[in-house]
Structure 1
Amino acid sequence: MTTFHAFLGCSLDGYIAGPDGELDWLTVFDNTGSEEFFASVDALAMGRASYDTVRELAPDLYRGMPIHVLSTTLPAGPRPDLGSSPVTVHPDLPALRTALAEAGVKRAYADGGRTVQAFLAEGLLSDLTVTRVPVLLGKGIPLFGPDPGPLRPHLVSSFATDQGAVQSFYRFSADGS
């Protein structure tokens, strides 16, 4: 069975991107722990918006890791590689989960605001690492949208970086709380 894990940065006021998807305010901060996190996952699951952003800005960001895109607007199936990463599009979470299980993927990185929200709503997210950086955007794409009800993840660890960001690691129980 595949487990899903998120590793995201957000502004102090809870945005993962600016109003037009801009990330320049975030990329000036060290991505503490990202190398270790990426080494721990076998594949990446992202939404269409994240896919389009990565395709434009950093096509070889994931250095060969298989990318699985959730999209209702792209045709399902293989797409052209993104850098050296093979890309497959899935129309929904059940199709994605089936494909990952068939591929033997044990740990997958869930990336993108709506994708992480969908995994949370379905109780599929095993853990979440959030790095909150000291920037106030005022508006943008929120980390969390409407939740299906109160979720109470367990705080495993938290620390401040040299640049003033705070990184926290949360674990969700098997029942989604």
Structure 2
Amino acid sequence: MRKIVLFIASSLDGYIARVNGDIDWLFTDQNYGYTKFLDSIDTVFMGRKTYEQVLTFGEYPYQEKKSYVFTKNLDFSASYDVKVVTDLDTFVNDFRLLDGKNIWLVGGSLLIRDFLNNNLVSEIIISVHPIILGEGIPLFANPNTTALQLTGCQTYSSGLVQLSYDVTA
């Protein structure tokens, strides 16, 4: 069965973006394992708000990958050959059985919560940036208790710390 991996950046106080969705605080001075991770996946899953935010960055960055946007809005349509999914449970359980590489759970926090609450996440890789935002969009929006096993910790000269966990329950 294919693994779903949450690969995401967070401020030290647990935010993935500013209140308005801006991620101007993210470090871009190094690769931080992004290219290696991108090579390990062939599919991206993201929520509608994350998808809409990604579109403001310029050209769609995941054109080489299969992309799926999860939404409860039945009238939502996507561009860039992105598929829209409205039934999370059935779709994800069936999709994980297909041949392929790992699947990247891009975000946002509500979709992360739904995936965690349905025991769909296999691994979490969080790049913690040494900044306190004070407010913003939280990484975790009231998920159920989820047990994790630390599998790696990488530190960088910038102060960024990348933590890797297997989801154990």
Please give the TM-score of this superposition, normalised by the length of structure 2: 0.89
**What SS is found at the alignment partner of 2:154?**
strand
| Alignment-mate amino acid for residue 139 of structure 1 | E
- Provide the secondary structure at the position in 1 that maps to 2:79: strand
3-12 or 20-29: which moved more? 20-29
1:2 is displaced (CA, Å) by 3.2
2:68, 2:90 → 1: CA distance? 10
In the other structure, the counterpart of 2:110 is 114
Deviation at 1:20, TM superposition (A): 0.7
1:99, distance to aligned residue in structure 2 (A):
6.0
Q: CA RMSD in A?
A: 2.0
**Aligned match of 2:157 in 159, 162, 167?**
162
For residues 1-177 of structure 1, the aligned pairs below 5 Å read 1-75=1-75, 79-81=78-80, 86-97=81-92, 100-101=95-96, 104-112=99-107, 113-149=109-145, 151-173=146-168, 177=169
Q: Is the 8 A contact 1:75 1:89 kept in 2?
A: no
The aligned length equals: 168
SS in 2 for 1:57: coil
SS in 2 for 1:119: helix
Unaligned runs of 5+ in 2: none
| 5+ residue gaps, structure 1 | none
C-alpha distance 127-101 of structure 1, shift in aligned 2 (>3 A): closer
Q: 1:70–1:90: 8 Å Cα contact kept in structure 2?
A: yes
Code of the residue aligned with 1:44 in structure 2: it is: V
Residue 27 (structure 1) shift: 4.3
Equivalent-residue separation in structure 2 for 1:156 and 1:98 (angstroms):
25
> How many percent identity over aligned positions?
29
Query: Any conservation in 2 of the 1:46–1:70 contact (CA below 8 Å)?
Result: yes
